[in-house]
Chains A and B, each alone.
Chain A
Amino acid sequence: MLAEPGDFAEWRSAARGLLAGGVAPEDVSWRGGAEGASLFGDAAAPASAGAVSLPRELLEIAERVICHRDPEVPARLYRIIWRAARDRQLLARTTDAEVDWLRKADKIIRRDVHKMHAFVRFRRLGEEAGRESFAAWFEPSHRILRLTAPFFQRRFYGMDWAIVTPDARAIWQDETLVYGPGGTKDEVPDSDVVEDQWRTYYGAIFNPARVKIDAMRAEMPKKYWKNLPEAQDIAPLLAGAEARVERMREAAVSLANPLTDKWRTRVPDELLLDDDVKTLGDVARAVDRCTRCPLYCNATQGVAGEGPGAARIMLVGEQPGDQEDLQGRPFVGPAGHVLNEALEEAGLDRRRLFLTNAVKHFKFEPRGKRRLHQNPTTGEIDICRWWLDKERAFVQPDLIVTLGASALRGVTGKSVSIKSMRGAVHELDGGSKLVATIHPSFLLRLPDRERAAEERAMFVADLIRARKLAA
């Protein structure tokens, strides 16, 4: 006989004894305290043998399911652990009728627990020495108080509270949690000063144009309404909803409120026209507004070149990548790290170079949580040359180093291969020299280590040549 229905510890110790004694489920009759019958029915009291080990998950589920009000539950649970002691895979057999029942019963209890976490409404009792105290009356569907009280303890550690249910009560006072017998509604205050504010909020947050009563009732079943202060407003809110929407429809549109014009003192940001771009600073501001090609639509920002206006060497890459797009600076992502290391090895000080890209906006393909780099088309490179030409005109470098094919296209305006240009020094219109090399991201994509080391050495050699040429 179980003295206290829903008490997991009691059921567990009884079940353990039975299991150890090898008492089959059909030989046990489980009865609640009120029925006053023997726990073991006609079966002989079990001989205490070694403890039987059960999957931890099953014990956790049993601890919840024992709270179910169905009087058959202790017996059904025992049948399941009896089987589980012989079949370690039992819980995974979701198509088994008893496991199916267990999972469903567990779901019911977990939902009841979740709803209790949600729908308990505390009312203030008072305050003593700066510590407030509250009480709540709640009627859960099952005997779940002990499953829920720890949650309230973790959440409301800094105040005293009591939750009274018909079956039991939990009291948190002076940082101690104790359980006691069930009680009645009138032990708890019938109002709270803040309830008016809560009901005002409830009414104001409701949108009368999208009434969905079924959705509300599915999640907040009517059985809980009697203890929810806001629930008394549901009917009047629904009754008035249609009329409120109708009034909006009839009022249709209104004239702009002239009084509010004075708030709107701001002028839209000035637009820089092409002719206004007179310095490198103008480029940086204006490139962010560029709409010459559609790449601006998805990128975070236009990324202009960076470096001293008097730089003797200009490095041109392809386009900003993911990090460059976020931070608004060129060469700050993985390829930027490769470049930084190579520059250092080549004896070049990044702070004295002007770094930029052939295309100023990031072109990518969204793929889940990542943005996959896409090569810009020659059309996009050619359109964006307007900005690169401005930067070249303002910086007037002695030497331009193009990193990769897109940069080469951006600087020369022609589709020429890196191979055909590499290793030599070329003269550009306007007097700058040109050194063509690979893009550092190419090194990141080489799977073969030996090959990567070779390519990297060639890359550094190109940078060293550039340093010597500009000296």
Chain B
Amino acid sequence: MSAKPILKKLSILADAAKYDASCASSGTVKRDSVASKGIGSTEGMGICHSYAPDGRCISLLKILLTNFCIYDCRFCINRASSNVERARFSPQEVVRLTLDFYKRNYIEGLFLSSGIIRSEDYTMEQLVEVARILREEHRFQGYIHLKTIAGADPGLIALAGLYADRLSTNVELPTEAGLSSFAPEKKPETIRKTMASVRIGADDAIEAAKSRLIGKAMPPRFAPAGQSTQMIVGADAARDDDILKTATNLYSGYRLRRVYYSAYSPIPDASSDLPPVRPPLMREHRLYQADWLLRFYGFERAEIMEGASGGMLDLAIDPKLAWALMRREAFPVDINRAPRELLLRVPGLGTRAVDRIVAARRLGKLRLGDLAKLTASVKKVLPFIVTLDWRPGKLTDSADLRARFAPPAEQLALAL
């Protein structure tokens, strides 16, 4: 097994890892290497050290420990029945690569996942071992994201949380039906239990920190960048509504920091029930926008779905605009008077623009010219707002309002 040269292994095991969308290195505690005199730091905000031609950020060394797998998930390039070439890193090889890349400033840290070998527990032990060597033997202070293997012993997950900044367990398919037909070995309840162990670990660590006696050392942190998951979009029959339903359940139950939506992308050596199609990138984009509305804009899932049809988000326009067009009675909103929550509902205004508006209007009434300095998209907000010198009049209710924003059909096809 170890006969393969390192470049070959790297090529196989990075290729095998690229279908996991997550590459975030943000949201963890501040650390540096000054006290340890070692290597590594995290500063809250993540850094994308490079970008691949697919537009995705490269922040972490994202690899699998091995792509051997006893599971046979149909959408996965590493499924047991796939003809893909297999390889396996030793924990030491992963440690070496991580440090070599890190010292050259190529990466923020490591995102390590693995195919399931022997058992869930054995696989999880291997992942934890890599993190342990990095932290304990090399005093590595950079970012570590470990995949938690669903069904692994909670004790191993508790250990993983001590070394890792982030843990993630992928749901992969949003519905029970999808999972049972495409990933027969994966059980949704096992995935949820694993996420529950992570939340319990995090809650306990917070509790321990709160009840710490004055003068005593801080108890160890548990996965300070929280947990995340990924759902594949477009591999099964799940609708956007199903996907968002699952997302809201996971956010509420397990305090997930992020749900990643990954457009199903054709894989080499595909299984027969997944014909190779173009990945639905626009659908993925709309789901991310809807996810943001849920988390930062005070929208409920049911509201977002008012702008959808048949449980699918509008591909031509963004979900906030789609909702606003169905809810025109809520507009126009007065930029100078409306509370923050209402400003957040104006299509074209993001959270930052809203904060700037709220700050600026304390010092004087705003006109359209002022607004242009506070947001990038004045044209988009015009039908929905009132300022000192602007009223949209009939524009808000005009029949062709959607057409003003929706791109012509041909352009949309290209965007897909």
A interface with B by C-beta (< 8 Å): 89, 92-95, 100, 114, 117-124, 132, 134, 136, 151-159, 192, 194, 196-198, 200-216, 219-220, 228, 230, 234, 237-238, 241, 245, 247-249, 251-254, 256-257, 260-261, 263-266, 268-269, 288-289, 296-301, 322, 325-328, 364, 366-371
Determine the chain A residues whose CB is within 8 A of the CB of B36 once the complex forms.
157-158
Q: In residues 79-95 of chain B, which contact A (Cβ within 8 Å)? A: 80-83
Determine the chain B residues whose CB is within 8 A of the CB of A157 once the complex forms.
32-34, 36-39
Determine the chain A residues whose CB is within 8 A of the CB of B29 once the complex forms.
none
Given contacts A206-B52, A301-B192, contact A89 B363 (CB under 8 A): yes
Given contacts A234-B53, A367-B252, contact A207 B41 (CB under 8 A): no
Tell me whether A120 and B18 are in contact (CB under 8 A). Answer: no
Q: Among the interface residues B19, B51, B103, B184, which one has the most CB atoms of the partner chain A within 10 A?
A: B51
Determine the chain A residues whose CB is within 8 A of the CB of B51 once the complex forms.
215-216, 219-220
Determine the chain B residues whose CB is within 8 A of the CB of A206 once the complex forms.
18, 52-54
Determine the chain A residues whose CB is within 8 A of the CB of B251 once the complex forms.
366, 368-369
CB pairs A–B below 8 angstroms (5 shown): A123-B104, A124-B104, A251-B270, A301-B193, A325-B253
B341 CB within 8 Å of chain A: no
Interchain CB contact (< 8 A) of B7 among A197, A207, A249: A197
Please report the C-alpha to C-alpha distance between residue A134 and residue B100 in the assembled complex, in whole angstroms: 12
Interface string of B296-326 (1 = CB under 8 A from A): 0000000000000000000000000000000
Determine the chain A residues whose CB is within 8 A of the CB of B188 once the complex forms.
297
Given contacts A95-B360, A157-B32, A288-B189, contact A213 B53 (CB under 8 A): yes
Determine the chain B residues whose CB is within 8 A of the CB of A156 once the complex forms.
33, 39, 103, 105
11 more CB-based (< 8 A) A-B contacts, given A254-B83, A265-B70: A121-B104, A158-B139, A200-B10, A210-B263, A215-B55, A257-B83, A263-B68, A263-B70, A268-B185, A299-B192, A326-B200
Tell me whether A207 and B54 are in contact (CB under 8 A). Answer: yes
Please report the C-alpha to C-alpha distance between residue A208 and residue B272 in the assembled complex, in whole angstroms: 21
Tell me whether A94 and B374 are in contact (CB under 8 A). Answer: yes
Please report the C-alpha to C-alpha distance between residue A152 and residue B104 in the assembled complex, in whole angstroms: 11
Given contacts A212-B54, A260-B80, contact A205 B266 (CB under 8 A): no
Tell me whether B81 and A261 are in contact (CB under 8 A). Answer: yes
Query: Interface stretch among B57-65, B205-213, B215-223?
Result: B57-65
Q: Which 4 A-B pairs have the closest CB atoms?
A: A215-B55, A212-B55, A366-B252, A256-B81
Count contacts between A and B, CB distance < 8 Å: 260
Tell me whether A301 and B370 are in contact (CB under 8 A). Answer: no
B276 CB within 8 Å of chain A: yes
Tell me whether B266 and A241 are in contact (CB under 8 A). Answer: no
B interface with A by C-beta (< 8 Å): 6-7, 10-12, 14-15, 17-19, 32-34, 36-41, 43, 47-58, 61-63, 68-70, 72, 80-83, 97, 100-101, 103-106, 139, 176, 184-185, 187-189, 192-193, 195-196, 199-200, 248-249, 251-253, 255, 263, 265-272, 275-276, 278-279, 281, 295, 356, 359-360, 362-364, 366, 369-370, 373-374
Q: How far is the CB of B285 from chain A (nearest CB, A)?
A: 11
Interchain CB contact (< 8 A) of B72 among A249, A264, A296: A264
Q: How far is the CB of B218 from chain A (nearest CB, A)?
A: 20
Please report the C-alpha to C-alpha distance between residue A322 and residue B199 in the assembled complex, in whole angstroms: 11
Tell me whether A296 and B189 are in contact (CB under 8 A). Answer: yes
Q: Among the interface residues B56, B104, B374, which one has the most CB atoms of the partner chain A within 10 A?
A: B104
Q: How far is the CB of A75 from chain B (nearest CB, A)?
A: 22
Tell me whether B47 and A114 are in contact (CB under 8 A). Answer: yes
Chain A residue at smallest Cβ distance from B269? A254
Tell me whether B50 and A94 are in contact (CB under 8 A). Answer: no
Q: How far is the CB of A431 from chain B (nearest CB, A)?
A: 36
Tell me whether B193 and A205 are in contact (CB under 8 A). Answer: no
Interchain CB contact (< 8 A) of B196 among A124, A265, A300, A368: A300
Tell me whether B356 and A268 are in contact (CB under 8 A). Answer: no
Tell me whether B53 and A366 are in contact (CB under 8 A). Answer: no
Q: Among the interface residues B7, B19, B54, B62, which one has the most CB atoms of the partner chain A within 10 A?
A: B54
